[in-house]
Chains A and B, each alone.
Chain A
Amino acid sequence: MDSRDSLSSDAARDSSSLSEDAAVLSVTSALAKTALSYFQSGKFEECFDILIQLDQKKHNDPKVLHNMAIAEYFKDGCSNSEKLLQGLNRVKKQSEELASAARDQLEAANPGTNASVPKDHFDSTVTTLNIAVTWFHLHDYSKSFSILEPLFQNIQRLDETIALQICFLLLDIALACRDAVNFLAVFDYMEKAFGVGFGSHEENGSTMQLSSNQVSKTSSLLSSSVASDTLKSELTAAESSLCEETLDYDNVLAEFEAEKRMKPVGHIPANNLLKTLSERTFSNADLKLELQLYKVRFLLLTRNLKMAKREVKHAMNIAQKRDSSMALLLKSQLEYAHGNHPKAIKLLVVSGIHKEAGTSGIFKNNLGCIYYQLGNYQASSVLFLKALRSCSSLRRNEKPVKPFSLSQDKSLLIIYNCGLVYLALGKPLLAAQCFQKASVVFWRQPLIWLRLAECCMMALRKGLLEERTTSLDRSEIRVSVVGKGNRRQLMIEENGYVELAGNTQLSKLSLPLARVCLSNGIYLLNESLSNDSKSDLGSTFSVGMNETKEASSSDHEEANTNSDLKEAKGGMSQDIIQNSLSAFKDMCSKEKQLMQQALFANMAYVELELENPVKALSAATSLLQLPDCSKIYVFLGHIYAAEALCLLNRPIEAGAHLSAYLVGQDDFRLPYAQEDFDQWWKHTSSDCEETLDPSTGNARESVFLKPEEARGALFADLAALLATQGHHDQAKPLITHALTLLPNNVQATVTAVYIDLMLGRSQDALARLKQCTRVSFVPGRLEVRAS
């Protein structure tokens, strides 16, 4: 009620109540100042007490309540985000109600006039921003985005500092969601509104270049004396672990020196070019660097490595005046993306982020990524674990909370990496745990569901899904000797039957879970394919932004001629940006297609494993219907469909699937070539200069059938099909061929034995069994038990 009174008095400010108001105002504003200073010095208890006093004076003032919620959150050690969100949402709702009430009141006071509510009074921008910030830290990016979206639509009306904060938050959200479209919308606006961006650096660039050369010259003089011993040793250590690559090492050193020199920022003379824009509160040089770094991140996101290289150089030039660790980190990421891992490691070390507690986890994570790409999964997993540990220690040790510090908890992202490396190491149970934890953040992405399903399938292969059955027996043939003497018989047994029921060992991973995961993945992917025009965040900034883009293309502060010139330049680099954006979109849709193929193939496989041929057939058919399907998946689609059809007693159709690869009467062509495989394996990483190094190459080979083996599978499967139809004579040469291509294959051997027996050649069958190394002749069970 008080606030409403103050509003009406505000509306009739010329009346006599002004002086009285002013008295109250001076007291409260003094209190507000005290509260702020307590807040800034991290004394949240005291701050909160002052706010309680304020609340008593200005009852239900939304802004006081807002700051109370913030202060309380910090007072409690940043632990209760839920309470904070509740508080902030309540404040937001309240100020919106008050605002609309005030509007009504004004409307009533002077009808007809289009009343506009005075600024600041019930403005909930700050509250909204804080809600979005909280969701951001809770990793709910799409929620955070949707909260910020209306603010961004009206961003011109907002104070510059808060507008900047909103924009930066939006940029980080877009990066986290890999949403290049929205990133660009925000970035474009920032470039226009804050005067630094894609177009403007060209003319600045040249002078910057010049000055940087001077810097590097001087710094090279200093290099021997300045470098601290520890860092130097780190550098050499990093270097020794790399291969002998000829890279411009001097350059790296110079950068490194520059970084050292830049630590005291103050005494660098301000650049004249920057001065013209410097009425702003946010230091323009900072802003310029910040935006340049974001530009590099955009280019890295869209995998435009060439441009990124150019822009990161520019960022380094700007950064020499200040902190260049971020620029170095991006440079490291660029080299990582290039597949130039030694250099990436070097730059990562040089960036120095491992020295600070807050970022050492990030350092270890990124190093882990590099080691993963080098095929050294063991080291990679150790690094990810260490990264997790430093994150969690950060959470625990940072007490008292330094003012303005929400925990920068990246552990959920690192956990995802952990999952990938565990999968690569063949540890599906650990990997699944990681993915399940990380799904809090990534549940919208189809890929994580595919990975979880892969965990289930790997666990199945490794026999981790069964009750107690020894995994060794899983794919072997057993020949049991039963009886003795003239009654001695051999029992050929394939370990085909696995009982799934009642496995208590791990209730989480199972084939039905795999099925659920895959259908989640397919659903999400279909959704994102159907609104491919839209962004992953669910919506894009409306066309309104484009209008303002045009309207604001020239700034009134500049002369017309100048603006023309600028526009031309901006347009040119705008082209590049748009190109890399559309290239990125193409890349994404290609990746989605590949993922779709993988999802359907896995689904067909899982359904077959679950003895559900109808669903398996439909998944396989969907797979085969996909446009531009990779040959590998076409092969799998045919094989799965044929098997499902057999299980459905439709052998003719099954045969049709296999005969797609038939050459003549009884020969198969290779269903895919090694190049197809390599291409698929590298999938769209064609921009990457990396040639598959031997270590990862090995891992790859064990991943899937070689083309010849795939051909063997076709022989074996056709033989099996023919055998069931009684064409044993026809099947015989096929299965013999299959066994030459796939010696020791259990299924093929069983089929061969079957055919031999059907042809009445039991001696041949036994000879076959003896040849196969995967047969174990076991003594009768009773004897074993008895001994």
Chain B
Amino acid sequence: MMIMKIEESAIVLSLLKSDLRPMDDVLSEFNSKFDDSSRFFSVCNSLSMMLQDQKMLQNTERLIAFAIIHQCYSSQKPSLNPFLSEMMSAACNEQLEKSERAFLLHLLQWNSYNNVKEILKQSAVDYIRSFDPSTHDFPELRELQREYGDKADPGPSSHIFADYSLKKLLHDPDVPRGCDPNSPEYVFDVQPGGNPRIGSGDRDEALSGFLGNSTMGGLAPRWIRPCPPRYPVHQSELLWIDPDNKHELVWDDKMCADTSRGATVRDLLVKGLKVTLSPMEQEDITTELANDPKLVYHCGITPRKLPQLVEHNPQIAVEILTKLIKSPDIADYFTALVSMDMSLHSMEVVNRLTTAVELPKEFIRMYITNCISSCGNAKQQDKYMQNRLVRLVCVFLQSLIRNNIINVKDLFIEVQAFCIEFSRIREAAGLFRLLKTLE
């Protein structure tokens, strides 16, 4: 709470009025009544407000008020006193009584003004009475500021609004002017007072009302700080709810299930890597694969095993590859197919695949390139084998072209060169003629 409580202001008021008691006596009473140092600030704040108005307090009261302010912060370095700057400016204010200014300088312990203790032993009245103005010289404000100023705490708030804040007290203009002896500059106002007690205002009441009311800070220009608008609620922010699919926990119905069916297929396929399976066995595999569309993923044929299966059981290989076409691993199977040795069976598999599914163009291209180059390589081995291979490749290519599987233009030069190289073989000449018709 920054505002003084009623009891507190009553105490302060009575202290201010004890101008006949020694001031240190008054101060010690203050100390005993205000044992909570957190209240000091609001007391001093109220006092300093009243001190700003030179007419509000009597001279003795002003002295006591300054003494209290000094007392509150006496345990700390003077520069930590938030009201230091006010004390300094008062000390240099020519309009104030010299006695008060000297008193302040003593409080500030400026140069030769060093007998605070002595002075505080007097009562305020005694001090003023015994004050001899001739013995004092007063410093400039600058000098004081040099001494304390740069160390001085600039006060509770230090931004420009606070710095320029104005005391917020205003003489009530409704008080008939002539009745206020403290404001001679006011001319008489037309406003009829009508109050018989005009001019007999209770100063004490004003003071205590004041002490009770004054809060921190002065009246400063105020900044308009618009509150940011509430972020608009977009339609989609309100949650429209749809009943979702009933996502339930799923019972695992494979628990203790018979897994032998898949096993027979796996066993047959292991056999199929080495020998050609009988038509019956092939039939079994085909039906099992058809019954369980996912079995193909678990039947044990990996890309590495694929070439063996192609060599011995091309139909089964086609079956499996067509079922695997949606698998993310299908590219590995294709790679295995491209890189295996060229043979009738592998070409048969690719040829059948082209009619069953759409193969990646890149794969077909690679495969054809591979075919052509293995024909060339076969020369070293066996003329007969080479002729056989070339004829196979030619038939294969013709079939691809006739079925529109490949676009001849993509491979034209390559295939043409191949035909010319093996033009002695009848099928190659036929392929060449086919190419020419398409041109």
Contacts and interface: CB of A to CB of B under 8 A. Distances in A.
B360 to A, nearest CB: 7
Interface stretch (B76-84, B108-116, B203-211, B394-402): B203-211
Given A486-B199, A488-B206, A595-B231, A420 B328 contact: no
B92 to A, nearest CB: 21
The residue among B164, B171, B200, B227 with the most chain A CB atoms within 10 A of its own CB is: B227
Chain B residues touching A, majority SS: loop
Contacts of B160: 646-647, 649, 651, 724-725
Contacts of A742: 224
Interface in A329-378: 329-330, 333, 336-337, 339, 353, 358-359, 362, 365-366, 369, 372-373
B257 A29 contact: yes
B223 A646 contact: yes
A114 B304 contact: yes
Contacts of A710: 226
Interface in B238-292: 238-260, 262-263, 266-267
Given A127-B252, A492-B170, A785-B6, A754 B229 contact: no
Given A484-B197, A754-B221, A414 B239 contact: yes
A766 interface: yes
B326 interface: yes
A61 B302 contact: no
Nearest to B301: A116
Contacts of A595: 231
B412 interface: no
A162 B226 CA distance: 57
A544 B328 contact: yes
Between B180, B229, B236, B356, the greatest number of chain A beta carbons within 10 A of the residue's beta carbon is seen for B229
Given A373-B238, A553-B358, A28 B256 contact: yes
A52 interface: no
A492 B322 CA distance: 91
A484 B206 contact: yes
Contacts of A123: 254
Interface in A591-610: 591, 594-595, 598, 601-602, 605, 608
B222 interface: yes
Interface stretch (B63-71, B94-102, B212-220, B343-351): B212-220
A154 B206 contact: no
Nearest to A684: B234
B305 A485 contact: no
B195 interface: yes
Contact of B256 (A63, A457, A639): A63
B233 A748 contact: no
A67 B251 CA distance: 6
A457 B227 CA distance: 9
Given A485-B198, A724-B160, A29 B258 contact: yes
Interface in A119-141: 119-121, 123, 126-127, 129-130, 133-134, 136-137
B300 interface: yes
A560 interface: yes
A551 B325 contact: yes
B250 A754 contact: no
Contacts of B226: 636, 639, 704-705, 710, 713
Contact of A640 (B180, B225, B295): B225
A710 B208 CA distance: 42
Contact of B232 (A70, A681, A724): A681
A560 B241 contact: no
A264 B437 CA distance: 64
Contacts of A572: none
A525 B81 CA distance: 47
A127 B294 CA distance: 19
Nearest to B303: A114
Interface string A475-513: 000001111111111111110110100000000000000
A595 B358 CA distance: 48
A731 B243 CA distance: 62
Interface in A250-291: 290
Contacts of A636: 226, 228
Contact of B158 (A25, A63, A193, A649): A649
A298 interface: no
B129 interface: no
B198 to A, nearest CB: 6
A217 interface: no
Contacts of B1: 499
Contacts of A712: 224
Interface string A755-787: 101100011011000000000000011110100
B161 A724 contact: yes
The residue among B203, B212, B217, B252 with the most chain A CB atoms within 10 A of its own CB is: B252
A747 B328 CA distance: 69
B297 interface: yes
B133 interface: no
Contacts of A36: 251, 253
A702 B243 CA distance: 36
A647 B242 contact: no
Interface stretch (A526-534, A659-667, A714-722): A714-722
A619 to B, nearest CB: 11
B235 A373 contact: yes
Interface in A24-64: 25, 28-29, 31-32, 35-36, 39-40, 54, 58, 61, 63-64
A133 B250 contact: yes
Interface in B405-422: none
Nearest to A372: B238
A373 B242 CA distance: 18
Nearest to A763: B173
A300 to B, nearest CB: 9
Interface string A570-590: 000000000000000000000
Nearest to B356: A556
Most buried by A among B226, B228, B242, B267: B228
A601 B227 CA distance: 9
A200 interface: no
Interface in B152-207: 158-161, 163-164, 166, 168-175, 179-182, 195, 197-203, 205-207
A410 interface: yes
A169 interface: yes
B249 A724 contact: no
Given A58-B256, A336-B240, A481-B172, A556 B248 contact: no
Interface in A439-491: 447, 450-451, 454, 457-458, 461, 480-491
A490 to B, nearest CB: 5
Contacts of A153: 328
B256 A766 contact: no
B357 interface: yes
Which 9 A-B residue pairings sit nearest by Cβ, starting from the closest? A485-B201, A483-B206, A119-B298, A704-B229, A487-B201, A747-B222, A720-B221, A487-B206, A780-B209
24 contacts: A14-B267, A63-B256, A70-B251, A114-B304, A118-B263, A130-B249, A156-B297, A156-B326, A297-B242, A405-B248, A417-B238, A485-B195, A486-B199, A486-B200, A490-B172, A491-B214, A556-B322, A643-B223, A647-B159, A649-B160, A681-B232, A724-B161, A747-B224, A755-B221
Given A420-B238, A724-B220, A724-B221, 19 more contacts: A119-B298, A157-B294, A373-B238, A457-B227, A484-B205, A485-B200, A489-B206, A497-B217, A499-B1, A551-B325, A552-B326, A560-B358, A598-B228, A646-B223, A717-B224, A720-B223, A726-B164, A755-B221, A780-B209
